[in-house]
Chain A
C-alpha cells in the first residue's frame, strides 16, 4: 500500500499533476475574464489546437528524455504538410500513398539526425538545426517557393474530413491524440524500449555497460521525433486545407515548452509524456487566455518566454544525483 502511495507521489508524477493543475487553473481564469471560455465548444477547440502541439511534443519528449533535442521540427513539419498536398494532388485515391510517403520523409530526416548524432558524434543541437536548414532548402527548392503546380493542391478531402470529423462528440484528431498518449506512455513505462530510453537519459555509459543498445535506441528516438513532426504536418494541412510556408515555425518553441511544462527534465532521464500532453494544453490555454485579454502578439511572446524561464528555474535547479 505504501509502495502504491509512493508510486503516485514521485517527483515525475507530481510534476504531471502540476501541469494539469496549471491547465485547469488557466481554464478557470479564462472563464472569469471571458464568459464562455470554459464552454464545451471553446474547450474542444483549445484541446484540438493542443493536440497538434502535443503530437510534435511526443517526438520532442522522446529525444529530450535522452538529453537530446530536435530543432528540425519546424521544417520537417512544414515539408510534411507540403509533401502531403503535392503528392496527393488533393485526390482521395492518392491519400494513403501520400500519408505513408510523408511519414517516411519525416522518419528519414530523423534517421539522418540520429545517425549523425550517434556515429559522427555531432551534438544534437547542431545536427538538428542543420537538418532544419537542409529540409527548408529542399522544400523551397523542390516546390520553387510554393509556386509549383501541385503545391496549390488541397489536402485530400478524406484527410480533411478525418481531422474535422467528430466521433462520440469529440473531434477525431483528439481521439488520435488520446491513442498516441496511451501508446507513448505505455512504451515509456512498460517496455524494454522505454527502459532503455530512461537509462540512456540518465547515464549513457552505465546503460551501455548494462547491455543496453544505446546507439540503436538513440537513432530510433530521433526517427520517432521526425515521424511525429510529419504526422503533425499532415493533421495541420488536413485542418487548414492547404499548406503554407512557415506554418511549422511556432511548433519548435511550443513543443519544447510543452515538454518542459510537463515536467520532463531538459537534461534528460526523467519525465512522462502525459505531463508533456498537459504542458501542451496549458500552453494553448495560456495563449487563449491572453487572447481573451486582448494581449497583443508581442506581449504573448514575452509571457511565453517568462513562463519557460520560470519553469526552468523551478525544475532545473534540483540537484542532479
Chain B
C-alpha cells in the first residue's frame, strides 16, 4: 500500500476539494472541508453519521453546489452545472440512497439513456435484455435476471445493479457512498474485486463505510471527517485511534464482554418446526423446518447469507406476517401470533426492532413520547382515553434510563441523532416490558461511536435476563455479540456455532458451504 500511497501523495490529485462550506437549513454540514484523491488509489472516507461524508460526495458528484469553496479536477477549478455535467467529466457516483426506478426492469435501469437504438432512434427492446446480460456478465454478475423488475429483486441485488450502472460508464473518478451496507460478505468480495480492477486501470475510487475490516482490507489511504471538516489523512491507522479521531473521545474496547449465561436459565421462546413463508424450497427437499430455543439472558445470533429467511423469521415471530407453519411457545406456553399486537401482549412480551428505523420503526414527524408509548396505549388508557400524566411520567423515566439526548419528550423523533432514535426504538419495548427482543440488523448504517452504545445496551438488556434474538449483516458483530449463532440456509438451521468455534470465519464458511451446495 505504501508505494502506491507515496506515488499518490506526490502527483496532482484527480479530484480535490478546498475549503468547501455547505449549510442545510441552519445546520452546517461542511465547514472549510478539504479532500484529495489521486488516480489509481482507493481512498476511504470515514467519520460518524453527520460528519459530512455524504454531503462531500454529493457536492463532488455534482448533485448540488457548495455554498462556497473550490472543486478541482486534475488541479483545474471546476463548477458542475448538475449531475449530468459531472458524469460528462468522468465522475461516477453511487449514492447512498438507491436511485433505480422500481417499476422498470433491471435492463432498462442499467442501460437507462444508453439503450440500444434501431431504426428511427427507437429503443430496440429485443436486444435490451441481452445487452444488459452481457454488461452484467462482464462484471461477473450472473445471478441477477435483467428482465426482472427492480421492485422484485432484493435490496442487495438493487445495490449491485446500482454499482454496475455507474461502473459500466467507466468513470475516471468513482464515488461509492456506503456501497456495502446492504451487501453480504460474498457480494462485498465481488465489489472489492471490481474496485481493484478499476484501481489497476488508474481510476480514483472514493468510498465510505462503517466497517473497519473492509476499510483496512482495500483502502490505500483513509481520510477522517468530523463535524464537517477533515481531521486527517492516513496511509495506516489503528481502529482505536481512528475512532478517537472520528468521535473526539476514546472508546475502550471494540466489543463489550458478554454477560455470563447461567446453566439453569429458563426457556423464554421456543420455535418448533416452523416454515418460513414465501421462501422457495429447493426441489426434492421437504419444506423448510426451523426449530430453536432461546433462554433468559441469552443472545442468540442468526447468521447466513441474505435471502435465507432471516427477515421472514424475525417478522414471523412478530406476526407480521405469521410463520407459515410451526409452533411458538413463549415461557413454555404455546401461543398463536397472527399480528404484532399478539406478540407485544404475549405472556413475556415480544418486541421487534426492525432493520430500518426510519421506515419500519419510528414515526419520525411525531414526538418522542408518541413513539415511546404507541405499543402500550391500551395499558395506559381508560375507556380509550390516554392518561396523560402516566404517559408523561413513563416517557420521562425511559428517556432518563436510556440517556436519550432530547430537549423534551415533546421533541420530534426525526430531529434526534441516529443513535438516540435507536434508543427511543429500544426504549419503546422496555416500556412495554418486553422480555423477548428480536433485534434485526440494528447497527446497519450506524456510525462507530453509536454502534458501541448499542452494543452496551444489548449487553445490558441481556444482563437483565431478557432473551435476545439478534441478526446482523456484519458477521464480526455476530461472532462477538452472541452466546450462540445459528446459520440459516433455505429457511433451516444449517449449523449451530458455539465458542470456541464461534468466529466470523466459521460463520462465513458455514454460509458459503451452503451456497455452493445450493
Contact = CB atoms under 8 A, between A and B. Distances in A.
Interface in A1-37: 2-3, 6-7
Most B C-beta atoms less than 10 A away, residue of A7, A203, A205: A203
A320 B318 CA distance: 28
Nearest to A210: B374
A269 B365 contact: yes
Interface of A: 2-3, 6-7, 190-193, 195-196, 198-199, 202-203, 205-213, 269-270, 320-321
Contact of B408 (A3, A192, A199): A3
Given A190-B386, A192-B377, A213 B341 contact: yes
Nearest to B25: A319
6 contacts: A2-B408, A191-B385, A195-B377, A202-B363, A209-B352, A209-B361
Contact of B374 (A7, A193, A212, A320): A212
A278 B386 CA distance: 26
Contacts of A270: 365
A192 B384 contact: yes
Contact of B410 (A6, A190, A213): A6
Given A193-B384, A195-B377, A321-B414, A208 B340 contact: yes
B134 interface: no
Most B C-beta atoms less than 10 A away, residue of A208, A209, A212, A269: A209
A46 to B, nearest CB: 34
A206 B425 CA distance: 11
A203 B359 contact: yes
B384 A211 contact: no
The interface residues of chain A, by DSSP majority, are classed as: helix
Given A2-B408, A195-B374, A212-B341, 17 more contacts: A3-B410, A6-B410, A7-B410, A191-B386, A192-B381, A192-B384, A192-B385, A196-B377, A202-B365, A206-B360, A207-B363, A208-B320, A209-B354, A211-B345, A211-B374, A211-B375, A269-B365
B384 A191 contact: yes
Contacts of B377: 192, 195-196
Interface string B356-385: 000111111110001000110110010011
Contacts of B324: none
B384 A209 contact: no
Nearest to B413: A321
Most B C-beta atoms less than 10 A away, residue of A2, A206, A210, A212: A210
A199 B340 contact: no
B412 interface: yes
Contact of A211 (B340, B381, B385, B410): B340
Contacts of A198: 363, 366, 370
B370 A195 contact: yes
Interface in B15-54: none
Contacts, number: 80
Contacts of A190: 385-386, 388
Contacts of A202: 363-366
B408 A211 contact: no
Contacts of B340: 208-211
B492 interface: no
Contacts of A193: 384
A191 B381 contact: yes
Given A6-B410, A210-B374, A205 B360 contact: yes
Nearest to B343: A211
B375 A210 contact: yes
A203 B412 CA distance: 15
Given A202-B363, A209-B361, A210-B340, A192 B410 contact: no
Contacts of B385: 190-192
A199 B375 CA distance: 11
B386 A206 contact: no
Contacts of A195: 370, 374, 377, 386
Contacts of B366: 198-199, 202
A196 B373 CA distance: 11
Contact of A209 (B360, B364, B370, B412): B360
A191 B378 CA distance: 10
A206 B410 contact: no
B428 interface: yes
Contacts of A207: 363, 374
Most B C-beta atoms less than 10 A away, residue of A2, A191, A192, A208: A192
Contacts of A209: 318, 320, 340, 352, 354, 360-361
Contacts of A210: 340, 374-375, 428
B344 interface: yes
A206 B354 CA distance: 9
Contact of A206 (B341, B359, B388, B412): B359
Nearest to B340: A211
Contacts of B365: 202, 269-270, 320-321
Contacts of B352: 209
A204 to B, nearest CB: 10
A177 to B, nearest CB: 22
A320 B358 CA distance: 12
Contacts of B361: 206, 209
A140 to B, nearest CB: 39
B290 to A, nearest CB: 21
Given A211-B340, A211-B344, A206 B384 contact: no
Contacts of A7: 410
Interface string B109-144: 000000000000000000000000000000000000
Contacts of A206: 359-363
Given A6-B408, A210-B375, A212-B374, A199 B384 contact: no
A321 B76 CA distance: 38
A192 B362 contact: no
A321 B364 contact: yes
A214 to B, nearest CB: 9
Given A199-B363, A206-B361, A269-B365, A192 B386 contact: yes
A219 to B, nearest CB: 15
A210 B428 CA distance: 9
A3 B368 CA distance: 13
Most A C-beta atoms less than 10 A away, residue of B360, B363, B377, B428: B363
B276 to A, nearest CB: 18
A207 B340 CA distance: 10
